[in-house]
Amino acid sequence: MSAAEGPLVVGVDTSTQSTKALVVDVATGQVVAGGQAPHTVSSGAGRESDPRQWWEALCEALRQCGDAAHEAAAVSIGGQQHGLVTLDERGEPVRPALLWNDVRSAPQARRLTEELGGPGAWAERTGSVPAASFTVTKWAWLAEHEPEAARATKAVRLPHDYLTERLTGQGTTDRGDASGTGWWASGTEAYAPEILDRVGLDSALLPRVVRPGEVAGTVRDRHDLPFSTGTLVAAGTGDNAAAALGLGLLPGVPVMSLGTSGTVYAVSRRRPADPTGTVAGFADARGDWLPLACTLNCTLAVDRIAALLHLDREAVEPAADTTLLPYLDGERTPNLPDATGLLTGLRHDTTAGQLLQAAYDGAVHALLGALDLVLDEEADPSAPLLLIGGGARGRAWQETVRRLSGRPVRVPEAKELVALGAAAQAAGLLTGEDPAAVARRWDTARGPVLEAVERDEAALAKISGVLSDGAPLLRRGTETH
């Protein structure tokens, strides 16, 4: 490890499965130390985690960073979006957090959409049409199913807010993560009182929204952390907005992120408002916008199919007539929260490798179907698609995206882009720079470009046909709860 040329900062990614911390040299972008610790997620009726384990994982990840973390001048936390963290008067969790991929609030999402003017009105007000992932629907579910927990709640936070507050002692969030709650109005960039009133949530329970570039607070005296008291803490942001910072993303450049969930997004200077609900009109962490489409089922679902088939995840064969829609956790794009996986086209000669390739195709098809809606007329249709996330380095994922998109694909060499984006945000506090400009100076998007291949229109049409023909089966049960 070479000596740092400038001050050090810490960037954190608290994701669904683990917390990762990077110590980064502000001058060069060199990662001088890193650490990671896992989380557990319930696999019962919903998807929940105890927020206290995020803190324990953060402490362990920082411990693994060694002495470098002690030298950090600033820290920022990026985290999984949408999760509902409810705290009591002592700042302790009332119950486990409801995570983004907990879809029990689908009925509440439909009801809220209808009660507050329909999809178009929601898109114009908040930038998005609420889905079961959104925090507002989770609070509505909690108030309906666990009213005692709702009454005991004295503060409502998102996952990254929870960790930032434990660092600083102050309740803060940022516009990027706030825009995914469903109760933040994108037109006024403030909490929407009519939505809060509808779900019975007092705005006094919500965190202050910190402006881009503003210091969220300083580290208070905590003996289980390596930071000095008074270390600067940036606002942090949601994981997708943090990754956009980590890439130094310019408007119109498309990104596909392959993680537990799959997302496609791009920075835009225009406030999005898609009444179909396919594109969420999120804010970014800088002052622009981050139109985004998300699927619940991505790498985790495909890995599950591989495990069921006793195959390595790379052991694919051309999918032939087989179609597999891997909706193992319901789905968000398309909006089918109660759907299950659907397999069709089996024959005597169908192989396990073909089934696995069909799972890849089904996952990527959903993301590509939303990409054109995410991009606006400023986008260059020949620009490489930036492929990031845990699946981006997998050969089968790369080749599936190339074949179904017909685009060149760039795979950035930099790893842990959410944590790098958080580090760039922390660095911006020290240098006064735009965090995205910091990341461009660090050259984080550098990586090989895989040339475009002819788009597989037949495969895309086959999957679209199954989606259309299987719609009644996929939607079965959504009207009865």
pLDDT (0 to 100) of residue 6: 79
| Phi, psi (rounded to 5 degrees) for 42 | -65, 150
- Residue 331 DSSP label: B
pLDDT (0 to 100) of residue 3: 64
Average pLDDT of each block of 10 consecutive residues along the chain (481 residues)? 77 95 97 96 89 97 95 97 96 96 94 96 95 96 98 98 96 97 96 97 97 95 84 96 96 92 92 91 96 92 96 93 92 84 94 97 92 78 89 96 96 94 98 96 96 95 88 57 32
From the list 14, 195, 176, the residue with the least C-alpha distance to 121 is 195
State the alpha helices, DSSP H only, in 249-407. 299-308, 352-374, 395-405
Q: CB count, 10 Å around CB of 197?
A: 11
pLDDT (0 to 100) of residue 322: 94
Q: Is 361 tagged catalytic?
A: no
Write the CB contacts of 344 (distance below 8 Å, at least 6 apart in sequence): 322, 323, 466, 470
**Half-sphere CA count of 69, side-chain side, radius 13 A:** 22
* C-alpha dihedral sign at 176, 177, 180, 184: negative
Indicate whether this model's pTM tops 0.85. yes
Residue type, 38: P
Please pick, among 239, 329, 338, 456, the residue that the annotation labels catalytic.
239
* C-alpha dihedral sign at 150, 205, 281, 284: negative
From the list 274, 359, 263, the residue with the least C-alpha distance to 319 is 359
State the alpha helices, DSSP H only, in 309-348. none
pLDDT (0 to 100) of residue 379: 76
